[in-house]
């Protein structure tokens, strides 16, 4: 079973996430960028995801809402770099903390029929990074990666 590793070194404004998938980069990238597939895996278990906009091109925007028993949680950002099957650079913003915007770089590494996705998120301050961690993002990320793994095996 593939594990999701989330690292946030004390005193740094970074979060690093690593997950391997038993699928080639083109397939993982498609699941990550196809508006028909993203709602099937993005979000914690028990969450429904509605895409408001999702245009994965340089300068394209995204916004989506997670709905669960606790209510609605909105997220948004802009895609800055998109290299099919290889890399995405995007901003990420949670509506609950609109002044905390991170810059995320996602690398899709080819492992010979498998894929390692590395995400490096840079926050404006350690406090912003810590607030993201305290929001429960770890649970959402782990569940999303497990849901994506299941989608890719279908």
pLDDT tens column, 39-81? 999 999 999 999 999 999 999 999 999 999 989 999 999 999 9
- CATH number assigned to the domain comprising residue 73: 3.30.530.20
Average pLDDT over the chain reads 96
Average pLDDT over residues 122-129: 97
CB 17 within 8 A of CB 148: no
Q: Please tell me the predicted confidence (pLDDT) of residue 154.
A: 87
Q: Please tell me the predicted confidence (pLDDT) of residue 70.
A: 87
CB 81 within 8 A of CB 60: no
The pTM assigned to this predicted structure is 0.95
Residue 131, Cβ density class (10 Å: 0-12 exposed, 13-18 middle, ≥19 buried): middle
Residue 1 pLDDT > 80: no
Residue 132 pLDDT > 80: yes
Domain count along the chain: 1
Structural domain range at position 45 = 4-153
Does residue 58 sit in helix, strand or coil? coil
Instruction: Estimate the crossing angle of helix 137-153 against helix 126-134, to 10 degrees.
Output: 60
- More confident position, 98 or 23: 23
């Amino acid at each position: 079973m593939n594990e999701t590793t989330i690292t946030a070194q004390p005193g740094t404004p970074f979060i690093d996430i690593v997950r391997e998938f038993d699928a080639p980069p083109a397939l993982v990238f498609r699941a990550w960028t196809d508006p028909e597939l993203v709602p099937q895996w993005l979000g914690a278990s028990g969450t429904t995801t509605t895409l408001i906009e999702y245009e994965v091109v340089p300068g394209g925007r995204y916004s989506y809402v997670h709905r669960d028993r606790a209510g609605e949680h909105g997220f948004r950002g802009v895609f800055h770099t998109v290299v099919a099957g290889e890399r995405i650079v995007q901003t990420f913003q949670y509506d609950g903390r609109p002044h905390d915007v991170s810059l995320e770089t996602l690398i899709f590494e080819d492992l010979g029929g498998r894929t390692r996705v590395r995400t490096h998120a840079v926050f404006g301050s350690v406090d912003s990074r810590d607030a993201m961690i305290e929001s429960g993002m770890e649970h959402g990320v782990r569940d999303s990666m497990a849901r994506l793994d299941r989608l890719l095996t279908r």
